[in-house]
Chain A
């Protein structure tokens, strides 16, 4: 498939936004359980939510470049019964709304407990909204990934690993950012978020590695024989029906050499996994917010390469019909 930059940025940016929100909420739940010191609502959760929202808005903005008619995008919410894309179009704004609400409630300091469960757990509005937003974050990961994983024709995507990868990689990058953000705001949770970021990064390395291995061993389900229905061992296309290009020759081919694809693979295997882990570790040791930010930036770059490779690696059966230019 042709890796479209709009979709690469959409999926990676909202992944960061989702992960960052999940990190903030995890922090809140931990401090509720007295495992972490309680953070200042306004600056940490309020501004943190705004940052998460910024990534989500940027992702949404990028997605509009993918559409031929962005002004009609609202129509895409109508077929949620059958289309994962439609479901994503619904869940993304719902999630953004909840993150906004979560941030605003924290910012305004409406954190007086609404009620107390069993005399130990004070529940305030942020806890409820945050919980709903976390559910929405996971639903959004699921929708985004299922857009790809549900297409049975693209064997490289048609696997539960795709869903796991989107979840783990998005969460990892969000926790990386949370680590850097907490270090910058003086809330010293670099070690806490950093540890989780490393855990998610390593888990993501395992699932993404598994999908790379799986794809290496895949045999195409369809050959030219069944594409044109002629039973012969030697079939070749002599003409695809036109001399120039067409939508079919542009949308479904990445047009790059195998060297570049392999290079991208090595690049993302390095940039998205071991390098940020080493950087965040160094950042923790040196207690340096800059290093944590660099860890996030490097991982984000790695994830852009990872998404590029994700698209380039998928082989569409329609390509069988577009093999020869003449």
Chain B
């Protein structure tokens, strides 16, 4: 069984929110929509989003770093939000592991959102049902699209390619290799929810340059001087 998921490279994400807007654009008019807003231009705007980009500061001034942190449903392998749903509206697809909500069955009790520790389910106040990231299920399963476009809208939109998409159960997939080789990790692993989405940590690329790498003893451009001492005969003096 495959488990589709996102891998988000925090080392690359620049916090541009392109994934947020493309997600909303694609999904509000697609299968999972609409994603209504209330008072979008008013005093206290609010609305339904599947994906948010947050910003955190690490450390204290002046030794700080900025972390941009995109957050959407992690499509947990042991999703605590699914068994609590009284209607069966929340379910996990058998074939690809995507966690979805059937809007026609949802009674809007919000219990699933209480059972998700990641705060990624957002109640739609207009249609009065629970909404969440679908991994663009209508795109990724649409065989009429060319294969390169069978990806979530956020992945296609990311200008920095910080978002990877694939099957984390396939050890040879791009996402599995990235998780394995670049330290991919899960959020709040303490609960045992086994999130399928992984994050790649921020990594520093450091060069280690030693003094003798800067000043080569045999640097041909080095200024020639008389040696401060008599070297005596060296191999260089030998005429062959």
Contact = CB atoms under 8 A, between A and B. Distances in A.
A73 interface: yes
Interface stretch (A19-27, A111-119, A223-231, A261-269): A223-231
Contact of B46 (A78, A79, A232, A246): A246
Contacts of B86: 75-79, 83, 85-86, 89
B128 A69 contact: yes
B25 to A, nearest CB: 16
Given A227-B188, A237-B56, A241-B20, A78 B88 contact: yes
B54 A82 contact: no
B190 A221 contact: yes
A272 B165 CA distance: 55
Interface string B29-66: 00000000001000011111100111111111000001
A325 B125 CA distance: 21
A236 B58 CA distance: 7
A66 B109 contact: yes
A7 to B, nearest CB: 10
Contact of A151 (B105, B115, B119, B186): B115
A153 B76 CA distance: 15
A68 B48 contact: no
B26 interface: no
A83 B83 contact: yes
A257 interface: no
Interface string A234-273: 1111111111111110011000000000000000000000
Given A83-B83, A153-B80, A238-B66, A75 B187 contact: no
Contacts of A242: 49, 52
B85 interface: yes
Nearest to A246: B46
Interface string A79-119: 10011111001000000000000000000000000000000
B119 A252 contact: yes
A226 B187 contact: yes
A72 B44 CA distance: 31
Contacts of A83: 83-86, 111
A84 B187 CA distance: 26
B179 interface: no
Contacts of B114: 1, 151, 153-154, 316
Given A75-B87, A226-B190, A237-B55, A318 B105 contact: no
B6 interface: no
Contacts of A237: 54-57
A70 interface: yes
Nearest to B131: A247
